Amino acid sequence: MRARVLIRPKAGILDPQGVAVERALPALGFAGVANVHVGRLVELDIEDSAQLESMCEKLLANPLVEDYEVELLQGSG
């Protein structure tokens, strides 16, 4: 099945990319934007979705400073 992993900086951990985007937007003429956070997106085909949490802990995310969220996009297996 296709799976999507959303990886975000943990609350309270510095998010320099988010800060940079939030500061750059007004300079480009975009107003009314707040709480910008930049993370990573990993999408993959996986046979056994039970492996995903362990994959996130060991490779995809850094659990010390990042939270992750798994979404299954297709199928039930």
Q: Which residues bind a copy of itself (CB under 8 A)?
A: 6-8, 21-22, 24-25, 28, 30-48, 51, 54-55, 58-60
Cβ proximity to a copy of itself: between 27 and 64 the closer is 27
Is 52 exposed, middle or buried (CB count within 10 Å of its CB: 0-12, 13-18, 19+)? Answer: buried
CB of 12 to a copy of itself, least distance (A): 16
CB of 45 to a copy of itself, least distance (A): 5
State how far the alpha carbon of 26 is from the alpha carbons of 5, 16, 29, 35, in Å.
30, 17, 5, 14
